[in-house]
Chain A
Amino acid sequence: MDLTPIWLTLKLATITTAMLLAVGLPIAWWLSKGRSFFKIILEAIITMPLVLPPSVLGFYLLIAFSPQHGLGKWLLHTFNIQFVFSFQGLVLASVIYSMPFMIGPIKSALQQLPVSLSQASYSLGKTKWQTFIHVLLPNIKPSLLTAIVLTFAHTLGEFGVVLMIGGNIPNVTRVASIAVYDSVEQMDYAAANVYSLILFSITLVMVIAVFIFNKYQLKSPLE
């Protein structure tokens, strides 16, 4: 039984979640403050993967980063980076595809915090960054955790987009969801079942952990 697809999936989900946390937090914070036409357009673009068929997104990424054309050709010749049929391509696609799952909950939670919290912090001489780290972020902990888990779990389950840009290369781009599909095609139901059961178990444990954490958060009266 080859467990490489499981490890590859976990590696992909971890890297994607970490990258999205770093990128998504400042974007969500910025989007939560005020409205402008540019912000509305950007938010719509970020939300697109929620409604777009994954194969459509994967197709456009495949075209955009193909080493035979424009951007992909330039990246290959200038930096020797190839996104198509490579693990870094899977990371790029996953970051784009899972972005709304990270940004959405964080942005909503930040918007629900009273503006007076930030103002109170500013009046104490604290910078925007200090206010974000010490006041805003700790008060959206449940939403932050939900965003992290949703992003991780969503990346675990990606299929269409990773198949389009990464293909099915063993030990490189053959993640668990593709391994399930591949095993079923080869009538190897036992292997498909093992992959599926592992994915199912990981996801279930994570979701239960979030529920327990959020319940504990609500019940903690003191430090």
Chain B
Amino acid sequence: MISVEIEKDLKVYQGRQVLKIAQQFDTGSITQIYGPSGSGKTTFLKVIAGFIRPEKGTIKVDGTTWLDTASKIFLLPQKRMAGFVFQDYALFPNMTVRQHLEYATDDQPWIDKLLSIGKLETFIGHKPEYLSGGQQQRLAILRALATKPKILLMDEPFSALDPEMKSGLIAELKLVFKEIGTTVLIVTHNPQELEGIEDARVLVS
């Protein structure tokens, strides 16, 4: 069970607004986070990952406190090890496809499985700038899964994929999520994108 209750000031054009979220996520569930642009969806994911500190709040993951502003507890992102798929992919320009995964894990059979899921076996020697947008996005997803994270935070993870690739990948990812028992939060601006695969929806507004 993941329990999140946070308050974070957001800087917006000509003023401020407060992002307030109190939500629980069942272990192993897939939740779609949606809402208008600028509502704080990405900030919400970054707060959970530990990249941004909220003004107030608590985050508890399977009984472990990741954040408690009242008790001044703040677990570093390196300790949380939340899988994160960035909207800009954040791939390492100096690393090839395989090196991305080897940087994250030593588990070679798991790396081979991920490469097969992402259909990137034939591109293992390529660096990101020589991959297409869709291939880059798939690599970003695979890298986030490489550590078998307890929680996977995905920011617009399927935006660059064609419909056929998207549906195939989503089906395979669902099996992987189940296998590693990860709790998944997916930010998307398109609520229809994940229709049928999500267990819950959370509106951020």
Contacts and interface: CB of A to CB of B under 8 A. Distances in A.
A140 to B, nearest CB: 10
B82 interface: yes
B92 A123 contact: no
B94 A138 contact: yes
B84 A119 contact: yes
Contact of A222 (B51, B79, B80, B125): B125
Interface stretch (B31-39, B57-65, B142-150): B142-150
A116 B94 contact: no
A119 B51 contact: yes
A116 B88 contact: yes
Interface in A36-78: none
Interface in B91-127: 91-94, 96, 103-104, 125-127
Given A124-B147, A139-B92, A222-B127, A119 B86 contact: yes
Interface in B23-56: 46, 49-51
Contact of B78 (A116, A122, A223): A122
A123 B144 contact: yes
Q: Which of B83, B84, B147 gathers the greatest number of chain A CB atoms within 10 Å?
A: B84
Interface residues of B, number: 32
Interface string A106-121: 0000000010110111
Contacts of B96: 222-223
A134 interface: yes
Contact of A119 (B49, B83, B93, B130): B49
A222 B83 contact: no
B184 to A, nearest CB: 15
Given A124-B143, A125-B147, A135-B92, A119 B126 contact: no
19 contacts: A114-B88, A114-B90, A119-B49, A119-B51, A119-B90, A120-B90, A120-B91, A121-B92, A122-B77, A123-B49, A123-B80, A123-B82, A124-B146, A138-B94, A139-B94, A141-B94, A221-B126, A221-B129, A223-B96
Interface of B: 46, 49-51, 76-84, 86, 88, 90-94, 96, 103-104, 125-127, 129-130, 143-144, 146-147
